[in-house]
Amino acid sequence: MLAKQGLLGEYKFTGKQGVLDFIAQAGCVQFDPIDVCGKNAELVLQSRVAGFRKEMLYELLYEDRALVDYFDKNLSIFPIGDWKYFARDRRWYAQNSRNFSEVNAVCGEILERIAAQGPLCSKDLPYREKGPWYWSDAPLARAALETLYFRGALCVHHKKGTIKYYDLAERCVPREILDAPDPYPDDLSHKKWRVLRRVGALGLLWNKPSDAWLNIGGLKAADRDEIFAQLLAEGKILPLEVEGIRETLYCLASDAALLDEIRQDPPLRARCELLAPLDNMLWDRKLISALFGFDYKWEIYTPETQRKHGYYVLPILYGDRLIGRIEPVCDRKAGRLSIKNIWYEDGVKPTGKSETALAACLRRFAKFNQVEFD
């Protein structure tokens, strides 16, 4: 799993091309807008891609148009060529949305405005009345723009800070991709493609209820059983037995060579990396607990008095162990990275070697955030 993720040994992903290569392999990285020390997608990439800078992801999304943000595992970033696989999601949003009649009443005018004026944000539109939206009440302008985005009529053209500017999809997505037919129009085939994609995103996965299956609409246990049986019969996945784990795990058949290499127990460089809260490798927390003996909860939505650790805490990977967790905070005004706390796992005793590796990791992390660290 670690070698597949590019988290063990020498870096296998480098620079801007490395961003594309990792996301192509993973299928997607999950997006979250909260930025304490980097947004989630940026944190995923900084732990795997040598020389990663935040501007690389922005350029690939909004200048090169090689990536697109849309729904896969919740809101995600994935290769723009995969747009065609999510036609059913866009159709669903065309038929289902909150404030359906109110939103539909202004959608035509919004599309005309954007066609004539270019990319717009919600503040550029006159619809100020508020209505119930997903997490709280929101102005109709925002609700309508987001609905058109969900339906695929609009794409995020660029951002200024956290403000999204939307443009017509045909001006953001190449016509041949926009007009491509759905490769898996029947329901089971589509779910099968999604399941295989998620197995590849983690490297190892089991056939159990899991957050790793989020946003695969209508995926029931019976569907999963049938899909895993078909993927095995077609030779697309391999069953694995792991010592100490009763359940069968699976990897992509295309990873057989990597699996054989790792089973030879070659000497691999033990890197120290900070993982994102919604890191691909952590999508199935129960699996991580079974494999690594590491129980992780992102406590950002936990009331402060009930938190065990902190608001924005990242797991620490050292070699092939999750040795603890850390709460880094970027003070951008002061231009400094501070560490509020470090919690080591029971039985982990920091050594000179591990502390040196962590210090080097934090210097890289500060550079990634464009701040200083002592």
Show pLDDT as tens, one digit a residue, over the chain (374 residues). 999 999 999 999 999 999 999 999 999 999 999 999 999 999 999 999 999 999 999 999 999 999 999 999 999 999 999 999 999 999 999 887 666 788 889 999 999 999 999 999 999 999 988 877 777 788 899 999 999 999 999 999 999 999 999 999 999 999 999 999 999 999 999 999 999 999 999 999 999 999 999 999 899 999 999 999 999 999 999 999 999 999 999 999 999 999 999 999 999 989 999 999 999 999 999 999 999 999 999 999 999 999 999 999 999 999 999 999 999 999 999 999 999 999 999 999 999 999 999 999 999 999 999 999 97
Partnered with residue 68 across adjacent β-strands are 78
Residue 22's contacts (CB-CB under 8 Å, 6 or more residues apart) are 6, 13, 45, 48, 49
Q: Cα–Cα–Cα angle for 71, 302, 161, nearest 5°?
A: 50
Residue 313's contacts (CB-CB under 8 Å, 6 or more residues apart) are 277, 298, 299, 325, 326, 327, 343
Count other C-beta atoms under 10 Å from residue 157's C-beta.
20
pLDDT of residue 31: 97
CA distance 174 to 357: 44
What's the predicted TM-score (pTM) here?
A: 0.95
Contact 370, 337 (CB under 8 A): no
Partnered with residue 372 across adjacent β-strands are 336
**Run of H or E including 224:** helix 221-233
Contact 276, 5 (CB under 8 A): no
> Quick one: the chain helix, strand, coil %, rounded to 5?
45, 20, 35
C-alpha atoms less than 13 angstroms from C-alpha of 12 in its C-beta half-sphere: 15
Q: Where do we find the tokens 């090169």?
A: 64
CA distance 36 to 66: 26
* 37-73 b/e (C-beta count within 10 Å ≥ 16 → b): bbbbbbbbbbbbbeebbbebbebbbbeebbbbbbbbb
pLDDT of residue 102: 83
DSSP-H helix ranges across 64-220: 87-95, 100-117, 140-151, 175-178, 187-202
CA distance 338 to 203: 33
pLDDT of residue 304: 92
pLDDT of residue 159: 96
CA distance 252 to 330: 38
Contact 166, 207 (CB under 8 A): no
